[in-house]
């Protein structure tokens, strides 16, 4: 039987409705609108689209968006000055620095300059450490979306064999930690993994975060597995494709996410959620 499709668009839409309601109630109670500042440096067209979509999503959910479009020639010092200003701005509860930054800017000190209390992406070392401890403050948005999608199947994660393909700091590692904290038995695969297909065939849950079109084939999937495709790859004709060979894998998996319309829409919804949670923490202080 073909897999059930985990509809990221529909899940994200529901989350945004819930967030808008939450924001409206919070605003009535406190007079505060959760504020998200997005910082974009340079003219990368894909990044510009992401930032614009985030702004629109903020507005629709009743958050307060601020957008900073800085020229390519912006220096490390100028960017740091802006981040320090946003750190001190009481209207802002979440700060997002759109990656990748231009090559002349060292992204590590920039991400570390973002206040740990406004780190809506969860990339600050403090928040990474809290995530490792199993007590996350800001959970990185894409991994948070991945877990939400797995949980939407109604299947328990506890005790399941999970294989995460990819070990990046922004996707693979945090997804593996979140699964482990939910009591899955987790294996992380990467470019040096031996016999990766055999490892994947053991998995009840497969999360693909590689960046290679159709990398995960149906021979690598156990019958009935949950398959989450994080990959966003552009084909030669300009269309988008995930890391999973969707059609054949769909015939074997129990649940599967499409690309587009899968993990992508969840990431923005989680960014809004992180910003609202942050505003609530500030309001309690």
Binding of residue 168 to ligand NDP (CB under 6 A): yes
Residue 108 found at the interface with ligand NDP (CB under 6 A): no
Q: Is 54 a catalytic residue?
A: yes
Does 171 interact with ligand NDP (rule: CB under 6 A)? Answer: yes
User: Is residue 231 within the footprint of ligand NDP (CB under 6 A)?
Assistant: yes
Contact call for residue 209 and ligand NDP (CB under 6 A):
yes
**Which of 211, 248, 260, 261: binder of ligand NDP (CB under 6 A)?**
211
Shortest distance in whole angstroms from residue 243 CB to ligand NDP: 6
Q: What is the contact mask toward ligand NDP in residues 17 to 36, using x (rule: CB under 6 A)?
A: --------------------
Binding-site size, ligand NDP (CB under 6 A): 25
* 263 is a contact residue toward ligand NDP (CB under 6 A): yes
Residue 200 binding ligand NDP, by CB under 6 A: no
Catalytic-labelled residue, pool 22, 98, 160, 273: 98
Comparing CB distances to ligand NDP, the nearer of 10 and 73 is: 10
Write down the least CB distance from residue 193 to ligand NDP, Å. Answer: 6
Q: Does the footprint of ligand NDP cover residue 170 (CB under 6 A)? A: yes
When asked if residue 233 is in the footprint of ligand NDP (CB under 6 A), the reply is: yes
Burial of residue 198 (CB within 10 Å: 0-12, 13-18, 19+) is exposed
Smallest gap from residue 56 Cβ to ligand NDP (A): 16
Catalytic residue (one of 22, 118, 119, 121): 121
Q: How far is CA 135 from the centre of its chain?
A: 18
Of 191, 194, 239, 285, which one interacts with ligand NDP (CB under 6 A)? Answer: 191
Q: Is 243 known to be catalytic?
A: no
Q: What is the 3-state secondary structure (H, E, C) of the chain?
A: CCCEECCHHHHHHHHHHHHHHHHHHHHHHHCCCCEEEEEEECCCHHHHHHHHHHHHHHHHCCCEEEEEEECCCCCHHHHHHHHHHHHHCCCCCEEEECCCCCCCCCHHHHHHHCCCCCCCCCCCHHHHHHHHHCCCCCCCHHHHHHHHHHHCCCCCCCCCEEEEECCCCCCHHHHHHHHHHCCCEEEEECCCCCCHHHHHHCCCEEEECCCCCCCECHHHCCCCCEEEECCCEECCCCCEECCECHHHHHCCCCEECCCCCCHHHHHHHHHHHHHHHHHHHHHHC
Residue 67 pairs in a beta bridge with: 38
210 binds ligand NDP (CB under 6 A): yes
Task: Using CB under 6 A, list all residues that contact ligand NDP.
Answer: 142, 165-168, 170-172, 189-193, 196, 209-212, 230-233, 263-264, 267
Which residues are annotated as catalytic? Answer: 54, 98, 121
């Amino acid at each position: 039987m073909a897999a059930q499709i985990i509809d990221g668009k529909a899940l994200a839409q529901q989350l945004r409705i819930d967030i808008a309601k939450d924001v409206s109630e919070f605003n009535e109670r406190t007079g505060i609108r959760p504020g998200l500042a997005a910082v974009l440096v340079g003219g990368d067209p894909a990044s510009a689209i992401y930032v614009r979509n985030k702004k629109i999503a903020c507005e629709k959910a009743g958050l307060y968006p601020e957008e900073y479009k800085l020229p390519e020639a912006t220096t490390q010092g100028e960017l740091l000055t802006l981040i320090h200003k946003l750190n001190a701005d009481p209207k802002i509860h979440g700060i997002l620095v759109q990656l990748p930054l231009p090559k002349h800017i060292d992204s590590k000190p920039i991400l570390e300059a973002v206040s740990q209390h406004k780190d809506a992406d969860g990339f600050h070392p403090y928040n990474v450490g809290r995530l490792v401890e199993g007590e996350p403050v800001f959970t990185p948005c894409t991994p948070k979306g991945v877990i939400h999608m797995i949980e939407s199947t109604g299947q328990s994660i506890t005790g399941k064999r999970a294989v995460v393909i990819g070990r990046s700091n922004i996707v693979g590692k945090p997804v593996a930690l979140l699964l482990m904290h939910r009591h899955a038995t987790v294996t992380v695969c990467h470019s040096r993994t031996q016999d990766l297909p055999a490892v994947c065939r053991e998995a009840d849950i497969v999360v693909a975060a590689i960046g290679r079109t159709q990398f995960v084939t149906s021979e690598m999937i156990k019958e009935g597995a949950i398959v989450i495709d994080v990959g966003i790859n552009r084909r030669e004709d300009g269309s988008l494709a995930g890391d999973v060979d969707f059609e054949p894998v769909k015939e074997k998996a129990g649940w599967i996410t499409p690309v587009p319309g899968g993990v992508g829409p969840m990431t923005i919804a989680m960014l809004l959620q992180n910003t609202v949670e942050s505003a609530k923490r500030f309001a309690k202080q």
